[in-house]
Structure 1
Amino acid sequence: MSKSNILFIINPISGGKDKLKIPALIDAHLDREKFNPNFSFTEYVGHASEIAEEAANKNFDVIVAVGGDGTINEVAAKVMQYDKILGIIPFGSGNGLARYMKIPLKPVQAIQLINEGKAGLIDTGRFNGKAFFNMAGMGFDAHISSVFAGNKSRGLSGYLKLGFREVLSYRPQTYRLIIDGKEYIREAVVLSIANSSQYGNNAHIAAGASVTDGLLDVCVIPQFPLYKLPVLAYEMLNAKTDQSDLVEIIRGKEIRILRSQDDAIHIDGEPFFMGREIEVSVAPLSLNIISP
């Protein structure tokens, strides 16, 4: 039986965790009868995308993202484009897609999952032409992603501290939503487009979302009194937002968003700046990914 060429693209700074020993760990646990492994470390934002494209053109069958949702996004976009197979070893701050897909957070177990080689197709999204795989959106979470990108205190604790600091001053915006031809006007603090159910760290914004239903979940959180924040946190951590009075969820395939000004957005947790009109769509069963 011929071996598959496999490349591990490692983000050395994702999640604030040291990964210099990851190649040796992979060497120790990867099934060498199935795979010919190679390793590459990213050096800057966008580098994972460049490495993945080069690997796809060099006939690597499986390309593995070793990092968080941002690294996965860069790698997965090229894996999808070139019809390869995506593997994940989670090393991010939140690991939203990996958690949703039940990919083990412990590296050895994630490597063993790759050894099993069970791949299946999932939906993906497009956000003004940019691919996303877990979550995209605007509002408070996009604002926090933008500020967090320049924060040296990576990880969940740094993210939470920043969120508590910024929540007091953030103001909602008004959005015009056209979802599969139907119009909605909503004032929201957060507007998230969910492919999977969660941001990461088991915080589920769209508890009923599925990556195989051919739909995206538009999650609208209006402004609410701060004393209700623990209620929202409870609902998210217990995957009950689909029953919440604090979150409205509208499902659709084609979504157009109009807002009053250019502003921050996030795509799989990574910040960008976009204009007042956003076009969002779903591509059903378009990414081949190794998962349980």
Structure 2
Amino acid sequence: MLYIHFIVNPISGKGKHVITHATLKTFFPADMFRIEVDYTEYKKHATELTKKAAANNPDYIVACGGDGTINEVASCLINTSIKLGIIPVGSGNGLSAHLQIPKNIEQALQLIITGQSTSIDVGKLNDKYFFSNMGVGIDAMIIRNYESSGRRTLLTYIKASLAASMEFKPQKTALSFKNKVVEENSFMLFISNSNEMGYNMSLTPKASLNDGMLDLITVPQLSFPEKLALGYYVLRNKVDKFKKAQHTLVDNLHIELPEKIFTDAQIDGEYHNLKTNSLKVSIIKHGLEVIIP
């Protein structure tokens, strides 16, 4: 009998999805599946629930939510035999889009039964993990503005981006990778493991989840017209056409922000204030087993 444990964020997206134990029973017959369901009540609750569930050694733990919920669940399953399932009911759904997991709940649930599994790489930022992307600089300010708005829509994200582009001041940054050090006043510093940011937008459309590398995008200080041009290319998923955007593949990276004490960062679309100005970014190759079509 297959044991599947669901971690459900009831307010993901617009909070309109209905994933209940009764609903799940219709998909997973009791004579074939053992089903357990927990519901998150606050930020980081999914981490607590996943750790408790993992102690019972289920076959799958299924994250029902957005990229933030998925991050909390998946972070507890790295280098374990437990497979991650995803029911994407969030707003951006970047990781699930890369994995081509259906947005339709019934189709995504059916995938848990019929799908196969694959191993994907995991990004690590100091003691935290990311599966889709992370960023410092303007990227972090965008997410902070986005979260403080209280609404999670594409229009809200665009408004947050426009506000951040006017407010953000480039920060002195030293990047160490491939035996070299690059110093610049950084406007954008974005590191991606997947080819999706969410909302069908991408800065790294060629990124792979299992190539053992992370995609680094850096953009230095920009003039106002250049900011407008960058925004245009971002919306059209053609950042590679923007000449000041530098793209590099890395498997480890050290970031120093010498004029900062703490660092604002976004990790899988969630804002974090890190109590350090020194960041070590690395990759765990094939660190997570995920159910896919």
Normalised by the size of structure 2, how large is the TM-score?
0.91
**Equivalent runs, 1:176-255 vs 2, <5 Å:** 176-227=174-225, 231-233=229-231, 235-255=233-253
Q: 1:193 touches 1:216 (CA, 8 Å); kept in 2?
A: yes
Question: Could you tell me which residue of structure 1 aligns to residue 117 of structure 2?
Answer: 119
Cα distance between partner residues in 1 of 2:97 and 2:237? 13
Letter in 2 for 1:151: S
Change (3 A) 1:152 1:254: same
| Corresponding residue of 1:283 | 284
Q: Give the partner amino acid of 1:257.
A: I
Q: What is the Cα-based RMSD across aligned positions, in Å?
A: 2.0
Q: Conserved in 2, the CA contact under 8 Å of 1:85 and 1:119? A: yes
Q: Which residue of 1 aligns with 2:268?
A: 268
Match of 1:168 in 2: 166
Q: Structure 1: how far apart are the matches of 2:32 and 2:170?
A: 52
CA change 1:233–1:111 in 2 (3 A) is farther
Determine the C-alpha separation between the residues in 2 that align with 1:247 and 1:153.
30
CA distance in 2, matches of 1:44, 1:176: 36
The whole-number CA distance in structure 1 between the counterparts of 2:29 and 2:228 is: 45
Runs of 5+ consecutive residues of structure 2 not aligned to the other structure: none
Aligned counterparts of 1:237 and 1:164: Cα–Cα separation in 2: 12
Distance 1:242 1:264 in 2: 25
1: distance between equivalents of 2:192 and 2:32?
A: 35
Measured after TM superposition, the shift of residue 166 of structure 1 is 3.0
The CA deviation string for residues 211-239 of structure 1, in whole angstroms up to 9 with x for no partner, is 11101111112343444556545544554
Q: How does 1:1-292 map to 2 (within 5 A)?
A: 3-30=1-28, 34-227=32-225, 231-233=229-231, 235-259=233-257, 260-261=259-260, 262-274=262-274, 275-292=276-293
Distance 1:39 1:118, change over 3 A: same
Deviations 1:33-68 (A, max 9, x none): 643222111011111011111111112110011011
Equivalenced residue count is 290
3-state SS of paired residue (1:256): strand
Report if the CA contact (8 A) 1:256-1:278 is conserved. Answer: yes
AA of the residue aligned to 1:283: I
SS, match of residue 45 in structure 1: coil
* More off after superposition, 106-115 vs 31-40: 31-40
**Alpha-carbon distance in structure 1 between the residues aligned to 2:135 and 2:19:** 34
Question: Which letter maps to 1:72?
Answer: I
- Assess, with a 3 A threshold, how the Cα gap between structure 1 residues 192 and 51 changes in structure 2: closer, same or farther: same
**Distance in 1 (alpha carbons) for counterparts of 2:72 and 2:255:** 24
1:21, distance to aligned residue in structure 2 (A): 4.5
Q: CA deviation at 1:13?
A: 1.6
Tell me how far apart the structure 2 counterparts of residues 134 and 34 of structure 1 sit (CA, whole Å).
Answer: 33
Say whether the 8 Å CA contact 1:117–1:290 is kept in structure 2. Answer: yes
Asked whether the 8 Å contact 1:193–1:218 carries over to 2, the reply is: yes
Work out whether residues 208 and 242 of structure 1, in 8 Å CA contact, stay in contact via their aligned partners in 2: no
Contact 2:143 2:160 in 1 (8 A): no
Return the alpha-carbon distance in structure 2 between the equivalents of residues 229 and 111 of structure 1: 41
Name the SS of the counterpart of 1:255 in structure 2.
Answer: strand
The Cα of 1:206 is off from its aligned counterpart by 1.2
8 Å Cα contact 1:69-1:96 kept in structure 2: yes
CA distance in 2, matches of 1:84, 1:242: 37
Whether the aligned pair in 1 keeps the contact of 2:165 and 2:227 (CA below 8 Å) is no
Deviation string 1:104-142 (CA, Å, 9 cap, x unpaired) is 111111111111131110000110121111111101121
Tell me, in whole angstroms, the C-alpha distance in 2 between the residues paired with 1:33 and 1:246. Answer: 59
> Against the structure 1 CA distance between its residues 106 and 226, is the aligned structure 2 distance closer, same or farther, given a 3 Å change threshold?
farther
